[in-house]
Amino acid sequence: MYIARLQLKNFKSFGGSHELPLSEGFTAIVGPNGSGKSNILDGLRWGLGDSNGGRLRITRQSDLLFQGTTTRQPSKSTEVALELKDGDTSTVIRRRFSDESGAVTLVDGVKHRLQDLSEVKRRWRLDGDRFAFIGQGDVTDAITHRPMQRRNHLEELFGIDTYRKRRDDALNK
Ligand code: ATP
Ligand code: MG
């Protein structure tokens, strides 16, 4: 399985539509400071359902919207799409946000709740944000985890967190 394509539309510093073809295996992103390397990873994280402001380096969701430049209008909506590929099988996960409609997640064009996206990610072995992304400071974080944080982290890695979330969901209904 690999991420074959990442499309960023008016996401953070990426005004307009940008298509990033990715190949199977290892991809390196290089560029000067402030050129948007981390924003690409933020796009991947967000596209895969992460809404954590700290990890996405935002204070509110609208910080994801392209803020405009002297030559380009600020954007009212943003969209990230990523195509997952495994042999002949592929799936497109698309996430949109606008101030008016909030965030919407589509898997192959079908609306999904964020909770249901984790099932899709599990199928594609992309579950557990921490499993897919090792960000700056994550290693230090893991060492200094408190017992409960460590448990949550391990539950996420082993996929037990979905069942906890489902149970919590059911109990809250
Ligand atoms: P470094 O090498 O320093 O880590 P980087 O390539 O990772 O740099 P990013 O953090 O991805 O850089 O990009 C930072 C730039 O993105 C800043 O110039 C910031 O102003 C810009 N930026 C962040 N959010 C937005 C937004 N919503 N609209 C427009 N520009 C944005
Ligand atoms: Mg960076």
Q: What is the pTM of this model?
A: 0.83
Mean pLDDT of 18-31: 91
pLDDT of residue 128: 61
Residue nearest to atom 15 of ligand 1 (CA): 34
Is pLDDT above 60 for 57? Answer: yes
Check if 31 has its Cβ closer than 6 Å to any atom of ligand 1. Answer: yes
Check if 33 has its Cβ closer than 6 Å to any atom of ligand 1. Answer: yes
ipTM: 0.98
Is pLDDT above 80 for 114? Answer: yes
Residue nearest to atom 29 of ligand 1 (CA): 13
Q: Is 107 helix (H, G, I), strand (E, B) or coil?
A: strand
Is pLDDT above 70 for 129? Answer: no
DSSP alpha helices (H): ranges in the chain?
A: 37-47, 53-56, 114-123, 129-132, 138-144, 147-158, 161-172
Check if 34 has its Cβ closer than 6 Å to any atom of ligand 1. Answer: yes
Domains defined along the chain, listed by start: 2-126 (3.40.50.300), 134-173 (no CATH)
Ligand 1: centre distance to CA 30 (Å): 14
Nearest atom, ligand 1, residue 67 CA: 28
| Residue 151 tokens, joined | 């448990």
Check if 63 has its Cβ closer than 6 Å to any atom of ligand 1. Answer: yes
Which ligand is in closest contact with the Cα of 66?
1
Report the Cα–Cα distance between both ends of the chain, in Å, rounded.
Answer: 36
Work out the mean pLDDT of the chain and round it to a whole number. Answer: 90
